[in-house]
A and B are shown apart, each in its own frame.
Chain A
Amino acid sequence: MSAPPLIDLELRKSLRAGARRFELALRLRSHNERIVVLGPSGAGKTLLLHLIAGLTRPDAGSIHLQGRCLHDSARRVDVPARARGVGFVFQDYALFPHLDARQNIGFGLHRGWRGPSRRWRDPRVEEWLQRFGLGEVAHQYPSELSGGQRQRVALARALVSAPSVLLLDEPFAALDTGLRRSLRAELDQLQRRLRVPMLLVTHDPEDAEYLGGEVLRLREGRVESAD
């Protein structure tokens, strides 16, 4: 295959919290459009996503997404988080509590010091509201939304600017079993349709089973075995 791997990274990062020391050291190279990183809590899953998104700087290593260099310690390249163009769905969604659903989704489409107002309309945002059935609650604040609606808002916010990769941190952990199943199916179809490369981390083997793709097991900062 001549195309560069979708994801190609080699990272080392050590963290210290009191007497406890945690070291992440891994290599990951894949052409698969779907990667699920499976591991118990404390394995370094969230840290891995933060390193890819540029929210944490690795001690050493490099990150390439679709051939684009985002970080290379040796060459002193470090693209800041705001310029990496990745979509990120945080574990508890990190929706902005002072903005309504529509403003949350459109947040990244305005980059200046003033965000979109409540009356502002953008076809890209309206399309996502329609697609996720959020039209009725577009003017509601995150605290007024249900768990499933919040998750959809977070997903729409990450996807509206057409990111080069979608990173998901335990996207279903906050939901009850029934909702988890239906949203898993929704994500599955969405990813097939949009063909946006996706890296999902989870502690739940069912997520890995259902979403398939390439499954990596992470334990104590290291990849245990590749399926």
Chain B
Amino acid sequence: MEAAWPALALSLKVAVWTCAISLALGAGLGWLLARRRFPGRELLDTLLTLPLVLPPTVLGYYLLVLFGRRGWLGGWLQEQLGIQLIFTWQGAVIAASVVAFPLVFKPARAAFEGVDTQLEQAGRVLGLSEWALFWRVTLPLAWRGILAGLLLAFARAMGEFGATLMVAGSIPGRTQTLSVAVYEAVQAGQDATAALLVAITTLVCTAVLLAAGWLGRRERR
């Protein structure tokens, strides 16, 4: 029973960080692919979308290869900065971000492509810098699509299981998120704990979807 609240707090923390990372990277890369032409653009789009279709365990494996003690990046981080990501909540954030990022990136690209380039040209002629143009024309017109993706990413991060378990493990109070805690409780035959965890997860996800619907209606006015 007592595992429930730390697990909920951790899941929310991971989901919020995942949203922040997905927003920055998803909106940035979505804009880049929508507005700039460069060789390998569609290949990059495919690679960035891959986490959407690959099994999370495969992603977890890749992340271990990359960030593990003997991984390319993991070894360097450990030696140079003394940072160890495996079996930490930051590791869980990275796992959830890889899985949830395409949910922001895809709609963001579509939303930016949906902004009439003539409006951006009008802004340029009126004296705006590219940066001001992004904040005052492109982003306000693409915002709704990005927000929809962001809420999906939040829900996806809350529910992330496979990659998180492989990268962050299941240390109660430290890396055991809600979905991992459900699995552990069922395995250990703690039916009451499992039921509580499942109820909490369902409630939180329902609340997120309601919030999404409400924001969508408010935006449309």
Query: Hey, which bits of chain A sit against chain B, CB under 8 A?
Result: 50, 53-55, 80-88, 90, 92, 94, 96-98, 107-108, 111-115, 157, 161
Contact = CB atoms under 8 A, between A and B. Distances in A.
23 contacts: A54-B124, A82-B125, A82-B127, A82-B129, A85-B127, A90-B121, A92-B118, A94-B121, A94-B122, A96-B119, A96-B123, A97-B119, A98-B140, A98-B141, A107-B123, A108-B127, A108-B128, A112-B132, A113-B131, A113-B135, A113-B136, A114-B136, A157-B126
B42 interface: no
Given A90-B118, A94-B122, A83 B136 contact: no
Contacts of A161: 126-127
Interface majority SS on B: helix, strand, loop or mixed? Answer: helix
B114 to A, nearest CB: 12
A97 B144 CA distance: 14
B191 interface: no
B121 A55 contact: yes
Contacts of A86: 125
Nearest to A84: B125
Interface string B20-48: 00000000000000000000000000000
A82 B128 CA distance: 6
A108 B135 contact: no
Nearest to B119: A94
Nearest to B143: A98
A111 B118 CA distance: 18
A55 B123 CA distance: 11
B132 A90 contact: no
A107 B126 contact: yes
A80 B124 CA distance: 9
Most buried by A among B118, B121, B126: B126
Contacts of A88: 122, 125
A81 B128 CA distance: 9
B144 to A, nearest CB: 10
Contacts of A84: 125
A210 to B, nearest CB: 26
Given A111-B129, A113-B131, A55 B137 contact: no
A115 B125 contact: no
B79 to A, nearest CB: 40
Given A82-B129, A96-B123, 11 more contacts: A50-B121, A55-B124, A82-B126, A86-B125, A90-B121, A96-B119, A97-B119, A97-B141, A98-B140, A114-B135, A157-B126
